[in-house]
Each structure stands twice: as C-alpha cells, then as structure tokens.
Structure 1
Amino acid sequence: MATHTVTVSWDRFDAAFTDNRYSRAHRWMFDGGATIPASSSPHVVAVPMSDPMGVDPEEAFVASLSSCHMLWFLSIAARHGYVIDRYEDQAVGTMARNDAGRLAITRVVLRPEVAFGGERQPTAEQMQALHDEAHHECYIANSVRTEVVVEPKDSGD
C-alpha cells in the first residue's frame, strides 16, 4: 500500500488571530520537494485574509481529479497504440449545498481536449471508451462521492 505525504504549514506571524483577521495563506510541501503557495478561496474569505495567488483547497480538489484522469487517459491511450501530442482540460468544480445541506463540491466537469498524432485516430466511440476506462481507474475519482462528469472536447472546437 502506498502512502502519500503532504505537509501543510501556516504561521500566524504578528496577527492578533482572535479577531478572525489573520492571513489564510499557507504552504503545501510535497514529499518530492515541491512547495506550493496555498490559501483559502477569496470567494470564501475576503482579501487580504486570503491570498488570491495561492491555490485553494477547492481548486486543488478539481485539479487532482483532472490530473488523475489525464494520467490514466495517457497511460491507457499509449497501451492501445495511440500517440497523444497534447492534452488540455478546463475542469470546473461547482460548490453548492449537498443533500445534508452542507457546502460541498457537488459536481466536477472535466472537459479534456486531446490532440492525437500519428495516423491512428480513435473514433468517437473509442474516445469515449478511453475516457470511461480512465475515469474508472482514477484513484481520486474512486475516492470521492462527488459526481465527476467527463465531457471531452474535440480538438477542432
């Protein structure tokens, strides 16, 4: 069983804290050495307490679903003999009230646009099958209750 380690680090510095006007800016440090600036979303906590340059947890959730799907898609496509030149996804997560009345990311729509190289091009049905298999294999999609929708875009759009 694999483990994945992330360190989330925040410092108060000289903020009073109890007035609730402290910075929500913090850092995500990954086991491979990358450090990412993070913050609460400015949609949730107003600037200057939020840092709009930091990645917020909601964005990271959507990005992790998109990234996981892409990595599986690339692997599956390669196994089937397709050459992919480019993959881009403009994923969108929607925050709304869930069945329990709590705010949650209730839906994520992935809109991958894939450009294939070489002579072998998948049909629309084969493309959908590749995306379906990638969705089925994605560890992150398998880990959440959020509805994850994949709406591939044609590279000609």
Structure 2
Amino acid sequence: MSKIHQYKVDLLWTGNRGRGTEAYNAYERSYTQHVAGKPDLQGSSDPAFRGDPSRYNPEELLVASLSSCHMLWFLHLCSEAGVSVVDYVDHAKGLMEEAKEGSGRFTEVVLHPTVTVATRSMVAKVDGLHDAAHAKCFIAASVNFPVRTLSTCAALE
C-alpha cells in the first residue's frame, strides 16, 4: 500500500499598489509563501518578467527543489552504503525556454555536485549512488524534462 503525503503552502499576493491588476505595469509580482511553523518565504517573478531581483522566483525554487531532493537522497544512500560524505556543494543550473507567445518551459536542469568523501576507497561508489539518488528523487520523478548530474568527487585521504 502506498502512502500519501500532503504539503500545504499558503500564498498571499502582496503586490497590489492600490489599483490591482488594472494595467500590466500597475502591480508588483511580489508574494509571500507561508508554511505553518516555518519562516515565510518572500517571492516574486523572475526580473525578466517584472519581478523583484531580491526575492526568490518560482524558477529558482524549482531548481533548488531538484538540487536539494537529489542531495538528501544521495546522503541517505551514502550512509546506507558505508560512504562517509564530509562535504557536499551543488551548483545547479536550470534552462528555461521562453516561447514567442510568452509561455515557457524548462528544457533541462543540470546538477553539478562536488562531493568530498572520507577516504579514496569510497570514491568509486559515488557515481552509482548519484544514479540511485536520481532514481529515488521525488521531484525529479515529477518533472517532464531531463535532470542530469555531472558530479565531481574527492577524498580527504
């Protein structure tokens, strides 16, 4: 039997300058996302779409979700496989293609994790564990574009 998990996020548009959406330039794209018991997240659209560059945009959050989901599964699988990860950094990049009529879609996300493991003998296992993490990542399994992983691994000893 499968388990169902529910995630609740409250979103409040905060960009009404007093005239609502009366005109395209009359409103801000800012919003606040709230999850009970957690700090609020201040968001906006991408600056290319009249957004506030100091706030997170949905596109960044999608790339961040893929990156963090992969990392969490990778660390879990490493712990089960006896691979001691001592450092993990990812410089993930997402590509979104905007269509002429204004819509758009992500065409790919590439994760670039740099992993440091405790000993050289662990390095050989890392690529397979990235593959397994990708297969288990809930977010990667939910998107309709490729998510690739180009990893680098080093050892302390």
- TM-score range, shorter-chain basis? 0.7 to 0.9
1:29-40 equivalences under 5 Å are: 29-40=34-45
For structure 2, the 5+ residue unaligned runs are: none
Match of 2:97, as an amino acid?
A
Deviation at 1:116, TM superposition (A): 1.2
Match of 2:144, as an amino acid?
R
- Give the structure 2 partner of residue 128 of structure 1: 127
For structure 1, the 5+ residue unaligned runs are: none
Match of 1:33, as an amino acid?
K
What's the TM-score, normalizing by structure 1?
0.86
Taking only aligned residues, the RMSD between alpha carbons, in angstroms, comes to 2.0
- Give the structure 2 partner of residue 61 of structure 1: 62
1:86 aligns with 2:61: no
Q: Percent of counterpart pairs with the same letter?
A: 34
CA contact (8 A) 1:108 1:149 kept: yes
Deviates more, 1:25-34 or 1:86-95: 25-34
- Judging by fraction of residues, say which structure has more helix: 2
- Give the structure 2 partner of residue 72 of structure 1: 73
- Distance in structure 1 (CA, Å) of the matches to 2:103 and 2:52: 24
Rate the CA distance shift 1:32–1:115 in 2: closer, same or farther, 3 A: farther
In structure 2, the residue corresponding to 1:31 is in which secondary structure? coil
In structure 2, the residue corresponding to 1:154 is in which secondary structure? strand
What's the TM-score, normalizing by structure 2?
0.86
- Give the structure 2 partner of residue 140 of structure 1: 139
Deviation at 1:117, TM superposition (A): 2.2
1:19 aligns with 2:23: yes
Rate the CA distance shift 1:54–1:12 in 2: closer, same or farther, 3 A: closer
- Distance in structure 2 (CA, Å) of the matches to 1:55 and 1:5: 19
